[in-house]
Copies of this chain bind each other. A is one copy, B any other.
Amino acid sequence: MTRKANIYDVAKSAGVSHQTVSRVLNNHPSLKPETREKVEKAIAELHYRPSQAARQLVTSRSRMIGIIIAGTELYGPWAILNAMEREARVEGYSVISISVLPESPESWREGIEQLRNLDIDGVITIALPNVIVKAVEKSLTTATIVIVDAEPSKKFDSVNIENFIGGKIATEHLISLGHKQITHITGPSDGYEGQMRRKGYEEAMQKAKLKPDVIEGDWSIATGYKTGQNLAKRSNRPTAVFAGNDHLALGVIKALNENGLEVPRDLSIVGFDNIPEAEYVTPSLTTVHQNFGELGKFAIEKMLTQLRQSTKAEALTIAPVLMIRESTEPLKATKGK
């Protein structure tokens, strides 16, 4: 069996020195075009590909980006990761995804450890509480950090959906339909995104001189369902709900249905995320659309520019879009006072 070609094999075959081959590989400016051609021909003939390991050993740059992601089954993070992976590949970077359990510090530590061992160039955190970001910062001192879907930092680039605006337009939509009693179900209390959505809700309510009504939740369907059960039995049931995400909304709708209530007839509801299912459930879900693909793409772009030459930290945001569907309708005047 012929062993894999290395840089010397190529050099010999092209009749140049190994260093010239290296120059071709790294696009060195001062190279005669004809030399470059010769080398490239030899590379093709020998099916040569440079050893990442050897490169990494000498440059101590791995061309790998670690992505730390909450190991949930949510659609959003996965969609983001998907976009990132593809975007990074185009630029010759690989992506190592590490899913951690936000509730288990040991789980993060392991994940971070793994990235350290790999001498990762950069780390992107997706929808992770601040504590974890801090831990990453502390342990991965040589890596460039980009924060996605979490509180922007002075030190690092961040990319976020305008969650505040999202929460606001969702609520304003309900208000404009005439609703006065609008309950908000939040995400987990330690999450930045949920907090901002909530603030958007509160601002909209305040502006309309309505009394906010907030129920703490998390991002799970099950919690939405439980909350829906309670809501259905409440004496002063709200006429509208702004759910922190689509899953919560789905759970609420289910619970209401089981209690003989119908959406939007008895209650209007807005979600957040615009998961693929949102359009196809019954009733189809009015929701705030997040462009996950763009989010991922921007994050990788930020990372790569930062890796090429570090610039000052910047907080990028993407505007959300309200998708109006069937789950919201004007408040009927039939109800007393």
- A→B interface (CB under 8 Å): 49-54, 56-57, 60, 62, 71, 73, 75, 78-79, 81-82, 85-86, 89, 94-99, 110-111, 114, 116-119, 221, 224-225, 247, 250-251, 253-254, 257, 276-277, 279-282, 284
A97 to B312, CA, bound (A): 30
- For this complex, 22 residue pairs linking A to B, each with C-beta atoms less than 8 Å apart, are A49-B116, A51-B119, A53-B53, A53-B56, A71-B86, A73-B75, A73-B79, A75-B75, A78-B78, A85-B97, A85-B98, A89-B110, A89-B111, A95-B97, A247-B276, A250-B281, A253-B280, A254-B284, A277-B277, A281-B281, A281-B282, A282-B282
Within 8 Å by CB of A280, from B50, B56, B117, B254, lies B254
Within 8 Å by CB of A225, from B94, B110, B118, B280, lies B280
Do A71 and B82 have beta carbons less than 8 Å apart? Answer: yes
Do B281 and A254 have beta carbons less than 8 Å apart? Answer: yes
Residues of B within 8 A of A280 (CB): 221, 224-225, 250-251, 253-254
Which B-chain residue is minimally distant from A89 (CB atoms)?
A: B114
Task: Select the residue from A51, A60, A79 with max chain B CB neighbours within 10 A.
Answer: A51
A104 to chain B: closest CB distance in Å? 11
A215 to B280, CA, bound (A): 20
Do A95 and B94 have beta carbons less than 8 Å apart? Answer: no
Q: Please give me the 7 A-B residue pairs with the lowest Cβ-Cβ distance, nearest first.
A: A53-B56, A53-B57, A78-B78, A254-B280, A257-B282, A221-B280, A53-B53
A52-B117, A89-B98, A254-B280 known, 14 other contacts, Cβ within 8 Å: A50-B117, A52-B119, A53-B119, A54-B57, A73-B78, A81-B97, A82-B99, A94-B96, A221-B276, A221-B277, A224-B280, A250-B280, A254-B282, A277-B277
Could you tell me the dominant secondary structure of chain A's interface residues? Answer: helix
Residues of B within 8 A of A53 (CB): 53-54, 56-57, 60, 62, 119
Residues of B within 8 A of A85 (CB): 97-99
Residues of B within 8 A of A119 (CB): 51-53
Residues of B within 8 A of A98 (CB): 85, 89
